[in-house]
Amino acid sequence: MSTILIPEISESGHHPGYVRHILESVNREASDVLVAGTRDLVLHSELDSVRHRFTPIEIELSKTEVDRLNDFSRLGLVRRQFCVRGIYARVWRDVARSRQVDMVVVPFVDDCLYAFALRGAPFGATPWVGISMRTQFHHPKVGVIANKRQGGGISSALFRRLLRQPSLKELLTIDPTLVHFARTLQGREFRKVQYLPDPSETFAPMSKSEARKSLGVPADCKLILVYGLLSERKGIFQLLEAMGLPQCPKDIHVVLAGSQDDGVRRFLETPAARSLIASNRLHMIQSYIPTSLVAQLIYASDAMWIGYIDFYTMSGVLVLAARHGLPAITSEQGLVGYLSRLHGCGMPVDPRSQESILHVLQRISRGDPDLAYVAENAISAFSAHSYSEFYRIFGNSVRAAESKSRA
């Protein structure tokens, strides 16, 4: 039986979910799986259904490490990469003292990708597989409206340096454009880049009236869902301000579902937000959203808001909406905008323009028939983004990596 180590430093956002996906993908009859993470990660409710599949290893962080992990300044992000690498090195050494580690799986390699590229992966000769979710240097080269401050030349060189490391057997990515980009380049190392569709659960259908009744939402409104970790960059302020305009149809309602940062909480105290709350057009669920409640939110809604600002990477919310035939209001930036244009599966909006937002809200209010085509295109475009496909691809990657390491 082989031993697989999964180190993960973050317990927020989609990180616990991806650890769960990985655990469900690995054959537990053939592998002994160790998950190393903070106490909040190894005890996270997202892992409750898979506790029988792994042995938890709690990572204890020093004050210096905590400070480094929470420093998101430009220089801080560089230091953070090396901090994460150091933590993973310590975890690997501690485990390797008492047992042989046959493989390492890094669920979110972006936290340490450039540190690994410069100093090598800290797992000795142990083979490893990583999942990349935020690689962006290639975006301008493939037609994605992107952040021009990404330092493409340096990032590209470091990316190639990482791929050349013999211990890295495969680099999986949820960004289809990175795979296309890699296929255009010469060099055997780029064959390590493989596509892993960002998965979404598919919920059993329920009637809109039943879903709305369970949430306390009016039956006759047009409901827009804003879901996930809620912050200013999600375009929430602009959406709510547009709802307050006289030209905005009064049947447009919004539900904010997810944990709110301080900026969102402060905005909800402004007159614009208080007015929407008082008129019962703004509904809120201010917490981590359990799976059972996600289904109610999806089937209660008429559209999903993904009008994010300066957001360039893949969005699990886009996949969630698409697989349930829920039309998405999408920014033109990043992968969300690129995939929406490519597949005709979104209603484009400039989240910084109230006029643009208002136009989309009016379309939703009058039941624009084009919305049905948007939903159909989305279902077709994201048909492969299922859990079963994730399990198949990831399981194959682990088995292939094991075979390469034995060869």
pLDDT at 29 over 80: no
Neighbours of 195 (CB within 10 A): 16
Residues 265 and 392 in one domain: no
Residues 166 and 278 in one domain: no
b/e 122-142 (16+ beta carbons within 10 angstroms → b): bbeebbbbbbbbebbbbbeeb
Instruction: Look up the domain containing 128 and give its range.
Output: 2-199+386-406
Mean pLDDT across the stretch 82-90? 98
Q: What is the pLDDT of residues 349-367, one digit of tens each?
A: 999 999 999 999 999 999 9
Mean pLDDT across the stretch 29-42? 92
Which pLDDT value is given to residue 405? 62
Phi, psi of 327 (to 5 degrees): -55, 140
Both tokens of 117, joined, read 């590229």
DSSP state letters, 17-52:
HHHHHHHHHS-TTTEEEEEEE-HHHHT-GGGGGGGG
Q: Among 25-39, 103-117, 263-277, which is the least confidently predicted range?
A: 25-39
Which pLDDT value is given to residue 28? 76
Question: Whole-number mean pLDDT of the chain?
Answer: 93
Going 267 to 268 to 269 to 274, the CA torsion angle's sign is: positive
Q: Please report, for residues 20, 110, 202, the alpha-carbon distance to residue 205 in angstroms, rounded to integers and kept in the order given.
A: 24, 35, 9
Which pLDDT value is given to residue 277? 96
Residues 173 and 30 in one domain: yes
Q: Give the pLDDT band of residue 291 (cuts 50, 70, 90).
A: confident
Both tokens of 225, joined, read 């869902």
Q: Give the pLDDT band of residue 187 (cuts 50, 70, 90).
A: confident
Selection from 315, 260, 252 nearest residue 285 by Cα: 260
Judge whether 249 and 219 are in contact, CB under 8 Å. no
Residues 224 and 259 in one domain: yes
d(C-alpha 333, C-alpha 38), whole Å: 34
Residues 395 and 355 in one domain: no
Q: Please report, for residues 179, 210, 261, 315, 372, the alpha-carbon distance to residue 322 in angstroms, rounded to integers and kept in the order given.
A: 21, 21, 26, 11, 12
Which pLDDT value is given to residue 309? 95
Residues 226 and 195 in one domain: no
Which pLDDT value is given to residue 218? 95
Q: Give the pLDDT band of residue 237 (cuts 50, 70, 90).
A: very high
Q: Position of tokens 């791929």? A: 163
d(C-alpha 402, C-alpha 128), whole Å: 9
Residues 265 and 297 in one domain: yes
Q: What is the pLDDT of residues 298-312, one digit of tens each?
A: 999 999 999 999 999
pLDDT at 209 over 80: yes
Structural Rg of the chain based on CA atoms: 22
Residues 270 and 391 in one domain: no
- List 305's β-bridge partners, or say none: 329
Which pLDDT value is given to residue 329? 97
Q: What is the pLDDT of residues 242-262, one digit of tens each?
A: 999 999 999 999 999 999 999
Ranges assigned E (strand) in 178-228 = 193-195, 222-227
Residues 220 and 148 in one domain: no
Number of domains composing the chain: 2
Which pLDDT value is given to residue 407? 58
Residues 32 and 14 in one domain: yes
Phi, psi of 353 (to 5 degrees): -115, 115
pLDDT at 403 over 90: no
Both tokens of 165, joined, read 């490391």
Which pLDDT value is given to residue 150? 62
Q: What is the pLDDT of residues 122-138, one digit of tens each?
A: 999 999 999 999 999 99
Selection from 92, 115, 121 nearest residue 7 by Cα: 92
Which pLDDT value is given to residue 147? 77
Residues 193 and 297 in one domain: no
CA dihedral 254, 259, 263, 264 (to 10 degrees): 10
Q: State which H helix or E strand residue 399 sits in.
A: helix 387-406
pLDDT at 148 over 90: no
d(C-alpha 139, C-alpha 161), whole Å: 19
Phi, psi of 362 (to 5 degrees): -65, -40
Ranges assigned E (strand) in 177-217 = 193-195
Q: For residue 366, how many C-alpha atoms fall within 13 Å in the half-sphere facing its CB? A: 9
Percent of the chain with pLDDT over 70: 98
pLDDT at 317 over 70: yes
Which pLDDT value is given to residue 203? 93
Residues 63 and 187 in one domain: yes
Q: What is the pLDDT of residues 53-69, one digit of tens each?
A: 999 999 999 999 999 99
Burial of 143 (0-12, 13-18, 19+ CB in 10 A): exposed
| CATH number (domain holding residue 333) | 3.40.50.2000
Q: Please report, for residues 80, 149, 197, 405, the alpha-carbon distance to residue 83 in angstroms, rounded to integers and kept in the order given.
A: 5, 23, 29, 27
Which pLDDT value is given to residue 289? 82
Q: Please report, for residues 46, 59, 202, the alpha-carbon distance to residue 291 in angstroms, rounded to integers and kept in the order given.
A: 9, 27, 11
Both tokens of 186, joined, read 């010469």
